[in-house]
């Protein structure tokens, strides 16, 4: 029997799978010993991180500048909690200073074999292995979020809406498919959809003159300083601004006319420490909605970092129709659960999600 849910979900951090993280690194000449010593310190620090099962450091026997770090985690949310933390940013700074290039890859574990797995797996282990692989179109989704100085929102929105789109083709295997930018108050959220290598696409975009000009133009308005001319400053800024996609689901029961589908984003300010629980709750609503054919939501992506949660939706029909369905929360019981997870404003007004303002939505031209 076909696994319907596996067909519909193309990405999820909440399926209970173990996670294998691979970090490919190319070091600057002469930094191998310094890198090794930095890793020695990091591996002792990371050993106590919840969910961390173990890691390995490998050096290419063909090229001494090429290194590989692999780590295994009990689940994706535990890894994301660490990798998105300020502690992690500071811990990996010495490693990043040694690297000419870094490429992180994340994989859920579907099957295991080998001598140490010969014994019958326990029910808990079997439950972590998915019955079927997820399907998808090879699209990788990622987000960036940052805040600008209060009072500068209009100026920032004008700058961010006026740039020329970079070339869609990155290389023979990678293509930039779509870039969408939203704002709510002084928070900016940019999402990208890439076919192929996400890191290659992000490097490609950052190198385009029109994009660099826009990034330089908004620098004076940022609440968090950065210097794009300094590779380490730029790397740390974009590491802290990263807003990973933790869940994505799309309807597969026919494609409506593109003109009927409207892109929206909703910002969910979580109570301190409740960001992961809020993202998980929203993912459950997405899965429930996906089982009901004919719904207005064609696809939903949930982006979460710490207590910042953003939901990107493609909705069929008028952009302002059925707001309760568009955010996936219908009925008093679900609304009450959501309210308990959200940070409310000062005063008697109840906690609520916030629709974001669309600034720009750029599609790559169709392949010739």
* Same-domain check for residues 76 and 208: no
Q: Tell me whether residue 120 is in a domain.
A: no
**Which among 155, 151, 145 has a CA at the least distance from the CA of 218?**
155
Asked if the model's pLDDT at residue 189 lies above 90, the reply is yes
Does residue 231 register a pLDDT over 90? Answer: no
* pLDDT over 70 percentage in the chain: 83
Rounded to a whole number, what is the distance in angstroms from the first to the last CA of the chain? 37
Contact of 288 with 128, CB cutoff 8 Å: no
Helices (H) and strands (E) in the chain, counts: 13, 14
pLDDT at residue 198, rounded to an integer: 83
The three-state secondary structure class of 3 is: coil
Does a structural domain hold residue 105?
yes
Domain that holds residue 47: 18-109
CA distance 32 to 27: 7
Question: Does residue 78 sit in the same domain as residue 154?
Answer: no
Q: Answer yes or no: do 202 and 316 share one domain.
A: yes
Q: Is the pLDDT of residue 50 over 80?
A: yes
How confident is residue 207, by pLDDT bands cut at 50, 70 and 90?
A: confident
Instruction: Report residue 320 as tokens.
Output: 């302002």
CA 327, CA 321: separation in Å to the nearest integer?
A: 11
Q: Are 71 and 55 in contact (CB under 8 A)?
A: yes
Per DSSP, which regions of the chain are E strands?
9-12, 19-27, 52-59, 66-73, 99-108, 139-147, 175-184, 187-195, 242-250, 261-269, 297-305, 308-316, 354-355, 357-363
The answer as to whether 4 is a domain residue is no
- pLDDT (average), residues 293-322: 81
81 within a domain of the structure (yes/no): yes
Together in a domain, 150 and 98: no
Phi, psi for 353 (deg, rounded to 5):
-70, 160
**Do residues 65 and 147 share a domain?**
no
Three-state secondary structure along 163-194?
CCCCCCECCCCCEEEEEEEEEECCEEEEEEEE
Other Cβ atoms within 10 Å of 98 Cβ, number: 23
* Residues 159 and 93 reside in one and the same domain: no
Check residue 156 and give its pLDDT: 95
Q: Please say which residue of 109, 126, 160 terminates a domain.
A: 109
DSSP assignments along 76-117, one per residue: HHHHHHHHTSHHHHHHSHHHHHHEEEEEEEEEE-----SGGG
pLDDT at site 36: 94
Q: Is the pLDDT of residue 313 over 50?
A: yes
Bridge partner list, 182? 189, 358
Tell me the average pLDDT across 197-212. 81
Same domain assignment for residues 71 and 148 = no
* CA angle (195, 206, 315) in 5-degree steps: 45
User: Closest by alpha carbon to 142, among 48, 241, 67?
Assistant: 241
Q: Is the pLDDT of residue 2 over 50?
A: no
As to burial, measured by CB atoms within 10 angstroms (0-12 exposed, 13-18 middle, 19+ buried), residue 76 is buried
**Distance (Å, rounded) from C-alpha 108 to C-alpha 18?**
6
Question: Of 202, 205, 206, 196, which Cα lies nearest the Cα of 175?
Answer: 196
Q: Is 341 a residue whose pLDDT tops 70?
A: yes
**Given this model, what pLDDT does residue 164 score?**
76
In whole numbers, what is the pLDDT of the chain averaged over residues?
83
Can you tell me the distance from the alpha carbon of 146 to that of 199, in angstroms, rounded to the nearest whole number? 19
The predicted structure's pLDDT at residue 127: 56
Three-state SS at 261 = strand
What integer pLDDT is reported at residue 124 of this predicted model?
Answer: 54
Tell me if 128 is assigned to some domain. Answer: no
Same domain? For 192 and 277 the reply is yes
How distant, in Å, are the alpha carbons of 10, 226, 239, 270 from that of 68? Answer: 27, 29, 19, 35
CATH number of the domain within which 79 lies: 3.30.70.100
Predicted local distance difference test score (pLDDT) of residue 166:
79
pLDDT of residue 325: 53
349 and 266 in one domain?
yes
In a domain, 308, yes or no: yes
pLDDT at 284: 87
SS3 289: helix
CA distance 365 to 186: 31
Residue 117: the pLDDT is 47
* 96 within some domain: yes
- 85-89, 194-198, 272-276, 315-319 — which is least confidently predicted? 315-319
Do 60 and 166 share a structural domain?
no
Average pLDDT over residues 322-337: 68
Domain boundary residue among 61, 94, 109?
A: 109
Identify whether residues 167 and 314 lie together within a single domain.
Answer: yes
Domain boundary among 90, 109, 128: 109
DSSP structure class, residue 196: S
Q: Give residue-wise pLDDT tens across range 244-274.
A: 999 998 876 555 566 678 899 999 999 999 9
Query: Two tokens at 160?
Result: 């961010």
Question: pTM value?
Answer: 0.85
Q: How many domains does the chain have?
A: 2
Asked if residue 118 has pLDDT above 50, the reply is no
Residue 173's Cβ-side half-sphere holds a number of Cα atoms within 13 Å equal to 5
Tell me the pLDDT band of 66, cut-offs 50, 70 and 90.
very high
Model pLDDT, residue 368:
47
Domain with residue 330: its CATH number is 3.30.70.1090
Over residues 137-188, the pLDDT tens digits come to 788 899 999 999 999 999 999 999 887 777 788 888 888 889 999 999 999 9
User: Is the domain of 161 the same as that of 274?
Assistant: yes
Is residue 121 included in any domain, yes or no? no
């Amino acid at each position: 029997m076909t696994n319907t849910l596996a067909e519909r979900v193309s990405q999820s951090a909440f399926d209970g799978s173990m996670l294998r993280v691979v970090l490919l690194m190319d070091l600057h000449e002469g930094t191998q010993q310094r890198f090794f010593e930095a890793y020695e310190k990091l591996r002792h620090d990371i050993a106590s991180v919840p969910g961390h099962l173990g890691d390995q450091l490998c050096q290419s026997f063909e090229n001494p500048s090429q290194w590989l770090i692999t780590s295994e985690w009990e689940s994706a949310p535990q890894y994301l909690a660490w990798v998105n933390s300020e502690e992690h940013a500071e811990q990996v700074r010495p490693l990043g200073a040694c690297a000419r290039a870094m490429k992180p890859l994340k994989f859920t574990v579907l099957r295991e074999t080998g001598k140490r797995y010969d014994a019958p797996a326990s029910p808990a282990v079997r439950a972590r292995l998915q019955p079927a692989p997820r399907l998808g179109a090879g699209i990788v989704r990622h987000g960036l979020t940052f805040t600008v100085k209060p009072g500068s929102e209009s100026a920032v929105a004008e700058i961010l809406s006026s740039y020329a789109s970079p070339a869609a083709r990155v290389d023979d295997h990678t293509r930039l498919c779509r870039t969408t930018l939203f704002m709510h108050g002084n928070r900016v959220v940019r999402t990208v959809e890439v076919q192929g290598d996400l890191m290659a696409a992000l490097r490609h975009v950052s190198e385009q003159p029109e994009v660099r000009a826009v990034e330089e133009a908004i620098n004076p308005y940022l609440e968090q300083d950065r210097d794009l001319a300094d590779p380490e400053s730029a790397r740390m800024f974009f590491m802290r601004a990263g807003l990973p996609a933790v869940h994505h689901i799309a309807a597969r029961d026919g494609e409506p006319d593109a003109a009927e589908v409207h892109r929206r984003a909703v910002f969910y300010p979580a109570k301190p420490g409740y960001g992961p629980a809020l993202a998980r709750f929203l993912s459950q609503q997405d899965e429930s909605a996906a089982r009901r054919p004919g719904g207005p939501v064609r696809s939903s992506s949930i982006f979460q970092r710490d207590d910042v949660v953003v939901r990107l939706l493609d909705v069929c029909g008028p952009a302002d129709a059925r707001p309760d369905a568009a955010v996936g929360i219908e009925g008093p019981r679900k609304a009450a659960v959501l309210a308990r997870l959200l940070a409310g404003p000062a005063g008697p007004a109840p906690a609520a999600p916030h629709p974001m303002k669309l600034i720009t939505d750029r599609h790559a031209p169709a392949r010739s």
